[in-house]
Structure 1
Amino acid sequence: MSTTAIDPHWLNQLARDIKTWGQQLGFAKVGICDIDLSAEEPKLQQWLDAGFHGEMHYMAQHGMMRARPQELHPGTLRVIAVRMDYLPPDAGFASNLSDPELAYISRYAGGRDYHKLLRNRLKKLGERINQALAEANLGDSGFRPFVDSAPILERPLAAKAGIGWTGKHSLLLSREAGSWFFLGELLINLPLPVDIPLAEGCGSCVACITSCPTGAIVAPYTVDARRCISYLTIELAGAIPEELRPLLGNRIYGCDDCQLVCPVNRQAPLTQEADFYTRTSLQQPQLLTLLGWDEATFLQNTEGSAIRRIGYERWQRNIAVALGNAPASEQIIQALRQRLQGASELLAEHLHWALQRQLRATTEDDTHQRKTQRVIRAVQKGLPRDA
């Protein structure tokens, strides 16, 4: 389609219409940007050269295509970036994280998998744009939707489109929404007017950096995925490094700590999408209950959820680590021993680690209790406390 003959006033109105249609489809914000990400290429290369992508080999497979949308989808002139809020009601962050017998699951994953939902909405937006073009006898937009599913730098694009600014934890932030939102992109061949990026708003705050349980934010705006709990519990297919296991606490799928401490998130809105509400089986779940799920139960309870993509073995691996970090319990010890029967090599490694931690904690607890009882008896007899 030739774009030189399109009336700029018509394009301006179309851009306004696109934002209206996007909001009607459930997107909290819609922005438009050009496709120049040349400034991001050296940053991406430096990050890859440092090995911060870990075993996410797909991050390096496509070279600099991630920063070149026109190579991913030839003919692309603009990117329509969208935001959809996902923070569920009754998130229960504090009560969940503070109870080591409960499992913590990142709040984006408690409901329906966002990929399909956002992609379908973006497709409808693209079809509505094509309808407007057809009515004006202008062909079509050649649109193509993406939702975290292709080699594209979605956060820099969203930042250019005015959706938010990049926080020091590398997530996108918005004054009106914090960081509790999903991103999606619609690549099109129309020279639409672009939006103005937001100014950086973190200032001198480093709360996300200092609160990261594993020290994964190695510098402002730079995350070493190899230490990130989200990477360790979701992306990493093999064994979780032993020195990092105690730092995971009860987090079995992802981590929200850098978002929880962020001051910008204090007034973040709740999602209007019921599909993102935390399903009952994943609300404040007991670790022992989750360990007891067989694979069929796991598949049933995670149907339509992003959690399912890590598979049953990794799910159990993560739960084993969390139980190793839980307070000493004979019930946990028995459950770990029972789960060892028929466990894969990967799972058995983490079960043994958890079992050793539990047994050591039990021994230390028993020793402390015996010492306390000796002191009590000594005091009762009027003897010196160190007798």
Structure 2
Amino acid sequence: MAQAGIEKLIDELKARAEALGFDAFGIARADARPDLPEKLHAALAEGWHAGMEWMAETEDRRGDPRRLWSEARSVILLGVNYGPEIDPMDLLAEKRVGNISAYARNRDYHDIIKGRLKELAGLLARRAGVEVKVFVDTAPLMEKPLAEAAGLGWQGKHSVLVSRNFGSWLFLGAILTDLDLPPDQPHAESCGSCTRCLDICPTNAFPAPFRLDARKCLAYYSVEHKGPIPREFRKPMGNRIYGCDDCLAVCPWNKFASVSREAKLRSRPEFERPALAELVQLDDAGFRALFAGSPVKRIGHARFLRNVLVGIGNADDQTLLPLVEIRLGDPSPLIRGAAIWALRRLDPQRAEARRLDSLAQEGDSTVRAEWDGVV
């Protein structure tokens, strides 16, 4: 395409992206970050991906968009603002409610963004007669450094993209194309001497600025981790029952971010201050119904109740004891184990009184270990 035609095409794409609800738009060359394979390899070698083995399994493709698609020449990066209406940090003091990460309080962002990306990519394909591929987080594409290369913002010291206009609250999506498009200027890192995101982390999950060790990250343990929450992280979890927003929420650039202009990206009221007492009573069907269309649904009933019971163990509210004791007999070992920890936190004497009888009937080694463990 002639230069004038490409400029007109980009203007049309930007206008359509805005109409579709995208708040940020930028273009990077597919080879804009030749440093990524080495950085990714170093992080994997350190074990910072914890149990997310899929990151290691896709290392070759993840470090370079052209490994995903050899014909890729340009990457269009899109962002959607999901700035929350209430500060997630305010909920940490409300121990009887569950704190759900801001990104999960509305519809699943994969569902929100993917349809829009497909429509925009279809427009590009029709106008230019080119090939396109759409990516939203689920494919091995490193959107954050590419978004930095495309000028949407910069990767902050907490490793999340930071935008001058939207702080740390941007969902990202990408369109790969075999068309050469003029790239935008990369955004310079603008964190300065600020270390608020590092200092606020309750588990010291940042071994250094711009590096995150998932083996210490509460967001990882509450969302990705499939087994019991390691004991050393249960008290720091507090009432965080899905994700952890601390490092995002304290970013000073958030003061420039506005609440999402779209109702579909605003928090569902039932997810803003859900009572732990109600959540712990959910059966599998009730869990699926409540979290239909939400990212929370993906972790499943057992892992969710594991998180809720850890929250209850940190709630210091003995009125919740009967609800905890019911879960001691749950069919899921993951739930039974978390219930034991919560019971021992709320009433050590009551827990000790039930210990021997429960051990006599318990065949799961991880649950037996909970009875013998240290709170």
TM, length-normalised to structure 2: 0.90
Residue in structure 2 matching 1:74, options 66, 70, 76: 70
Q: Does 1:21 align with 2:31?
A: no
CA deviations over 1:117-161 (Å, ceiling 9, x no partner): 21110100011112322xxxxxx2211110001011110111100
Q: Distance in 2 between matches of 1:59 and 1:103?
A: 29
Partner residue, 1:104? 99
CA deviations over 1:46-85 (Å, ceiling 9, x no partner): 1000101011000010222112212212311000000001
Equivalent residues in 2 for 1:1-387, closer than 5 Å: 6-36=1-31, 37-89=33-85, 91-133=86-128, 140-329=129-318, 331-360=319-348
Contact 1:86 / 1:273 at 8 angstroms: preserved in 2?
no
Q: 1:234 to 1:94 in 2, by over 3 A?
A: closer
Unmatched runs of 5 consecutive residues or more in structure 1: 1-5, 134-139, 364-387
CA deviations over 1:179-217 (Å, ceiling 9, x no partner): 111000000111010000111110000011110011111
Contact 2:99 / 2:272 at 8 angstroms: preserved in 1?
no
> Percent identity over the alignment?
39
* Equivalent residue pairs, number: 350
Q: Distance in 2 between matches of 1:260 and 1:26?
A: 23
Unmatched runs of 5 consecutive residues or more in structure 2: 352-375
Deviation at 1:277, TM superposition (A): 1.8
Deviation at 1:251, TM superposition (A): 0.1
Contact 1:15 / 1:193 at 8 angstroms: preserved in 2?
no
Deviation at 1:12, TM superposition (A): 2.3
Deviation at 1:347, TM superposition (A): 1.5
Partner residue, 1:380? none
Q: Distance in 2 between matches of 1:26 and 1:113?
A: 15
SS of the residue 2:60 aligns to = helix
CA deviations over 1:76-123 (Å, ceiling 9, x no partner): 10000000011243x253442211111000011011001022111010
Q: Distance in 1 between matches of 2:308 and 2:317?
A: 15
Compare CA radii of gyration and give the structure with the larger one.
1
Q: Distance in 2 between matches of 1:110 and 1:281?
A: 9
Partner residue, 2:371? none
Contact 2:117 / 2:174 at 8 angstroms: preserved in 1?
yes
SS of the residue 2:330 aligns to = coil
SS of the residue 1:296 aligns to = helix
Contact 1:328 / 1:362 at 8 angstroms: preserved in 2?
no
Residue 37 of structure 2 aligns with an amino acid whose one-letter code is E
Partner residue, 1:370? none
Q: Distance in 1 between matches of 2:35 and 2:89?
A: 39
Contact 2:343 / 2:350 at 8 angstroms: preserved in 1?
no
What is the aligned-residue RMSD (CA, Å)? 1.5
Q: 1:92 to 1:193 in 2, by over 3 A?
A: closer
CA deviations over 1:264-287 (Å, ceiling 9, x no partner): 112211112222222232121111
Indicate the larger mover: 198-207 or 95-104.
95-104
Contact 2:37 / 2:64 at 8 angstroms: preserved in 1?
no
CA deviations over 1:13-33 (Å, ceiling 9, x no partner): 222222122111111011000
Q: Distance in 2 between matches of 1:245 and 1:327?
A: 14
Residue 40 of structure 1 aligns with an amino acid whose one-letter code is L
Q: Distance in 2 between matches of 1:348 and 1:238?
A: 12
Deviation at 1:35, TM superposition (A): 1.2
Residue 273 of structure 1 aligns with an amino acid whose one-letter code is E
